[in-house]
Amino acid sequence: MISEKAELLEVIRGQKYMTLAMCKDDDPYLATINYVFDGATSCFLFHCSPVGKKMDYLKANPKVWGAVVEDRGYLDGECNHAYRSVQFAGRAEILADSEAKRQGLIRLIDALERKPEPVRQRLLGKSDLSGVGVVKIHVLEMTGKMNPGKKEETIS
CATH of the domain at 80: 2.30.110.10
Return the number of other C-beta atoms located less than 10 Å from residue 18's C-beta: 22
**In the predicted model, what is the mean pLDDT of residues 43-63?**
97
Is residue 150 scored above 90 in pLDDT?
A: no
Residue 17 lies in a domain: yes
Sign, CA dihedral 125-130-131-132, equals positive
152 CB contacts (<8 Å, ≥6 apart)?
none
What was the pLDDT predicted at 154? 44
Q: Which domain holds residue 79?
A: 5-96+129-149
Residue 64 lies in a domain: yes
- 21-31 tens-digit pLDDT: 999 999 999 99
Is residue 151 scored above 60 in pLDDT?
A: no
What was the pLDDT predicted at 116? 95
Q: What is the pTM of this model?
A: 0.89
Residue 39 lies in a domain: yes
Is residue 127 scored above 80 in pLDDT?
A: no
Summary mean pLDDT of the chain: 92
Burial class of 59 by CB neighbour count within 10 A (0 to 12, 13 to 18, 19+): exposed
Residue 34 lies in a domain: yes
Residue 107 lies in a domain: no
Residues 94/55, Cβ–Cβ less than 8 Å: yes
Residue 123 lies in a domain: no
Residue 78 lies in a domain: yes
Residue 154 lies in a domain: no
> Crossing angle for the helix pair 98-112 and 116-124, nearest 10 degrees?
150
Structurally, how many domains does the chain consist of? 1
